[in-house]
Amino acid sequence: MKININKIKELRNITNISIIECKKALIETKGDINKAIDYIRKYAKIESIKKSKNETKEGIILDYVIKNFGILLEINCQTDFVAKSLQIINFGKNILTYIFKHKQTNISVIREIFDQERIKLIGILKENIYINRLGYIHGEFIGKYIHHSKRIGVIIRSNIDNDILMKQISMHIAMLKPDYICEKNIPKNIIDHEYSLQKSIAMKNNKSKIIIKKIIEGRLKKFINNITLYNQKFLLDNNKTVFHFLNENKMKIFEFICFELGSNIIKN
């Protein structure tokens, strides 16, 4: 059956899928535009079920930040090419707008609300797409940093309204990836585990108890410094710690969230 090219273009404008798929749908429905749309919707649903078994190791980190509310969202797909597509970016922006407007931060609820839109997008892009995770901070003075690749993003809450300083600290977090703000935030079991590990290593050395104790304390301090924001050497000035930089600017960090693409991949 020969299909008029104008009908194919019309169907493509409506569905935003490929010309080949539009032609196929029109052939199957004998040139009926409305039936072709139903056919595509049904076909996209079937495709989405097949595609949903594919692993999603690429994607983007998106943010929505105002002065007292910040959101990070990770959406995964299969290829870097699709991750950069306008469809994925707009899909993410729609989710962020909804989260902010309705203050709905339950990821399970968000997945359910946007499942039909996700299925439609799978049909268009021919890749599995997954809403992996979201994080949010509520309170005064929210700052952020999103790497230009959109593969890593940070939001923080501070005590002062200074976008430049908050971006600098967020950038530091993105690059050096601390787990905690300061030592008191580290759970006791984490410290105890590291202490036991370092003790077992140090005991293998034929040293006195005093030397062994100093070795353990030194290594434990290094461990704490590596995983705490305040004790790390500041990214933009290695002559001072983050704590000293913050102190100079009368600044405190109350909380932060850091998402790096792929660090929390869920097989779906």
Whichever domain contains 98, its CATH number is 3.30.479.20
pLDDT value of position 135: 96
- Residues 21 and 110 grouped into a single domain: no
Tell whether 133 and 253 lie within a shared domain. yes
- Quote the crossing angle between the two packed helices 209-227 and 188-202, to the nearest 10°: 140
Whether residue 42 sits in one domain with residue 121: no
Radius of gyration of the chain (CA): 25
123 and 70, same domain (yes or no): yes
Q: Are residues 127 and 42 in the same domain?
A: no
* Residue 168 and residue 81 share a domain: yes
Asked if residue 163 and residue 37 are part of one domain, the reply reads no
CATH code of residue 36 = 1.10.8.10
| Per-residue model confidence (pLDDT) at position 45 | 54
- Domain assignment present for residue 159? The answer is yes
User: Which three-class secondary structure state does DSSP give residue 88?
Assistant: helix
CB 41 within 8 A of CB 58: no
- pLDDT tens-digit series, residues 31-69: 998 888 778 766 665 555 455 556 678 999 999 998 899
| Claim to verify: residue 25 and residue 46 sit in the same structural domain | yes
Buried b (16+ CB within 10 A) or exposed e, 31-48: eeeeebeebbeebbeebb
In a domain, 217, yes or no: no
CA atoms of 187 and 185, how far apart (whole Å): 6
Our count of domains for the chain comes to: 2
Low-confidence ranges of the chain (pLDDT < 70): 15-16, 41-55, 264-268
Range of the domain at 10: 5-51
- State the pTM of this model: 0.78
Residue 126 dihedral angles phi and psi, to the nearest 5°: 60, 35
At which residue do the structure tokens 């902010």 appear? 100
Whether 213 is covered by a domain: the verdict is: no
230-241 pLDDT tens trace: 999 999 999 999
* Co-location of 88 and 177 in the same domain: yes
> Do 28 and 129 fall into the same domain?
no
Residue 107 in domain: yes
Query: 117 lies in a domain?
Result: yes
